[in-house]
Amino acid sequence: MEQNKLREETLIASADTDDLKRVFQDRKRTNILNNLEQQTLSFLVTRIPSYISSNILTFLGTIGSVLVLVGFVLANYLDRSYLLIGIFGLALNWFGDSLDGRIAYYRNIPRKWYGFSLDIIMDWVSTVMIGLGYMVYAKNKYELIAFVFVVLYGWAMIISQLRYKITDVYTIDSGLVGPTEIRIILALIFVVEVVFGGLIGYFAGIICITLFFINILDTRKLLKLGDIRDAIERNAKKKAA
């Protein structure tokens, strides 16, 4: 009896492990918080109620970006302490954006290309809303930084999609920094701005400069990958001929 029970528990544990492995099979992550993030997501996917679908999670992630926008607007017209709403918004955005695809893979009902397309579109919508929020909050010449940020983040997204096309490996990170780290940095900037005030423009400028150089480096890497892919395809055609 005890041996049968032990065997059953072992089989269940093995099945759970396979399910969790499936959760992260569609992309490669290199961000510095990768291990902690995967452990957290593995914990969460097993506890999300069955009536909460991937689309609902995507919606929640978008609502998180709306809250960031609302925080900026209220901070501009009422009091900068309302920027703290943005921290909750970023957390909700991470929750929805990180779990919508993971929960589908865990439940073994993924819609790879539907989910991929929806995710990219909503990520862009979220980026625009956050940039718009900063534009409302920013003063004088610092408003331009919001436009620059949206452009640079869009550039990073394009690089990510092209890299996927060339290598067939989907990664959303640039080295040790990914969307999760960017959300944390933004949350810390909100806290500093609430405490001290008048510094967010400088931080936004630093982020834009950093994104610019990261994009330049990633673009060079992307072009090299494209060159390698071209060479492989040319050699394949020569051999076929």
φ/ψ of 25, rounded to 5, equals -80, -15
In a domain, 120, yes or no: yes
Q: What is the pLDDT of residue 5?
A: 45
Q: Which domain holds residue 87?
A: 36-169+187-240
> Is residue 14 domain-resident?
no
| Confidence band of 24 (pLDDT split at 50, 70, 90) | low
Say which residue, 23 or 39, is predicted with more confidence. Answer: 39
Ramachandran category for residue 195: left, alpha or beta (phi over 0 → left; psi -120 to 50 → alpha): alpha
pLDDT at 124: 93
**Is 196 part of a structural domain of the chain?**
yes
Give me the chain's average pLDDT, please: 86
Q: Write out pLDDT tens, residues 136-172.
A: 998 767 788 889 999 999 999 999 899 989 988 888 7
Rounded Cα gap, residues 103 and 76, in angstroms? 37
Please give the share of the chain, as a percent, with pLDDT higher than 90. 54
Q: How far is CA 85 from CA 88, 137, 226, in A?
A: 5, 14, 42
Residue 17's pLDDT band (cuts 50, 70, 90): low
Residue 174 belongs to a domain: no
Q: Which long-range contacts (CB under 8 A, 24 or more apart) does 11-15 make?
A: none
For the chain, how many structural domains are there in total? 1
Q: What is the pLDDT of residues 84-132, one digit of tens each?
A: 999 999 999 999 999 988 898 888 888 888 888 888 999 999 999 999 9
Q: Tokens 């291990």 belong to which residue?
A: 35
pLDDT at 12 exceeding the cut of 60: no
CATH number at residue 205: 1.20.120.1760
Does residue 94 sit within a domain? yes
> Domain for residue 18, yes or no?
no
Would 7 be classed as within a structural domain? no
Whether 11 is covered by a domain: the verdict is: no
